[in-house]
Every structure is written in C-alpha cells, then in structure tokens.
Amino acid sequence: MKKGFIYLLGTAICAMAIAHAAHALTGREIIDKADALTDPKTAESTVLMLITKSGSVMEKEFNLITKDYGPNDRALISFTRPTQIKLLTHTYKTKDDDQWLRLSSGKVKRIAQSDKDKSFVNSHFWYEDLTSRQIDDYEYTYTGDGKAAGFDCYKVDAVKKGGGKIYEKTTLYARKSDCFIVRIDFYRNGQMLKYLENYNIKKISGILTPHKVVMTMADQSGKTELIVKSVRYNRPIADSLLVKESLR
C-alpha cells in the first residue's frame, strides 16, 4: 500500500484462489494481495477536481506525475487552473514523508507534520491523504464482508502502530475479484469522518486505474471528485521535475 493518492493510484490475482481460500484469509493477507497488484514505474495524468460545498461547485484542474524510486516514490501535483499551486511529495519507507507547497505567489513552504490534517486547496482531501502508506506500519483485522462501489468486498480495519496518527482507524474495502481497494472509511474521535470511493476502474497498460475518485464527508456536508481525463504509464520522467528546486 504505497501510494496514498489515488490509494489513488494493480497484476490481478487469481479470483478462484481467493474464493476457495476466503474463509482462511486474514486482514494482512487481503492487504498483501492488494499491495501485490501491479504499480507503474511512472505515471502522468490530467485530473479535473470538483469541490462541492454548500450547494456550490468549485472547479480546478491539475497535472499529476509520479515516479517510483524503489523503496521511495515522488509525486508532483501542478494546478493549471484557476491557480498555479504545486505540491511536491517525497515518500520514505522509514520516516515521515516530505511535502512542499508552492503558492501562487511563488513562495515555497514545507508542510509540517502538525499540518497534515489541513485541507489541500480547500478540498475534502487532507495533506495526509496525499502521502504514502507503509504496509508494516499498520495492524490489520478482517471484519467480514460488505458491498462498496457496487462490488462484493472484504472489509479490513487498519490501525496504525505507534504515534503520529491522523486517523485512529481506516476501514478498507477490497473487492473479492482481485482485492483492488474500492473504498476507504476514515475514522476520527470515535466516528467515521469521511470516505473515499473508486469508480470506473479500467485496465490501462495492464494497471488497474480508477477514472473517478470521490472523497465524501460522512455527514454529507460536501465532497470532492477527481475525474481522470487522461493517464499514461511507464514513460520517461526527468528526475529534475521532482526535486524541491523545480518548484521555484
């Protein structure tokens, strides 16, 4: 479970094997199967962001590039309208991720760990939601079966070990056909705060790709939709685009 963004962004496992072994799968085994799905080495996409609050919709658009550096990844979000904001994320396996935000003014600031629960560009995604997840940092419990985004799923609770928790728990819905994660429920202060759902999942160059991602507040006070307009995988991306100096 490396990429927090389009958790956002799999080789399908044998559905028959899953079905036969379903009664024996643990929560960790289900998540291991999800993590084993094929990831691209690089990705480039154009994404439409629709933020719904108080009955009105704000429209934004950005380009996203990501590159796999072995145990670490880097991702750059560059807004093309209505502002020129950029967010650069460097993920790490053994420490907290680094994030830098370039404001429209050109000023660059580092996102502190204490600000990870702040809204990103006034959306329903927090900075924490755009960071990586290291599989060994969590305890997993299979809690039964359920439906999510129209699919039959396994439900797995994930609780982070140790400190630094933004969410006290997340519940992951892995569809039974291939263990691709189609929904995530986020809990804070004993209640579900919001949930993310993946829709219109297609294989692009052998990689399972959701073309619509929706983060919805549990009290239905608002939502943010990400519509993938285009995506390309495994094309060369220069390292120079993914360093802090490139934000200037």
Q: Is residue 245 part of a domain?
A: no
Position with higher pLDDT, 102 vs 10: 102
Residue 24 has what pLDDT?
64
Over residues 169-205, the pLDDT tens digits come to 999 999 999 999 999 999 999 999 999 999 999 999 9
pLDDT band at 8 (very low <50, low <70, confident <90, very high): very low
Q: Is residue 248 part of a domain?
A: no
User: Residues with Cβ < 8 Å from 24, sequence gap 6 or more?
Assistant: none
Domain limits at 31?
15-239
Residue closest to 153 by CA, chosen among 16, 30, 6: 30
Q: Is residue 247 part of a domain?
A: no
Q: Is residue 10 part of a domain?
A: no
Kindly report the CATH number assigned to the domain that includes residue 36.
Answer: 2.50.20.10
Q: Is residue 8 part of a domain?
A: no
Q: Is residue 27 part of a domain?
A: yes
Over residues 23-68, the pLDDT tens digits come to 568 999 999 999 999 999 999 999 999 999 999 999 999 999 999 9
Q: Is residue 233 part of a domain?
A: yes
Over residues 92-130, the pLDDT tens digits come to 988 889 999 999 999 999 999 999 999 999 999 999 999
What pTM did the predictor assign? Answer: 0.90
H or E element in which residue 16 lies: helix 15-21
SS3 content of the chain, % helix, strand, coil (to 5): 15, 50, 35
Domains identified in the chain, total number: 1
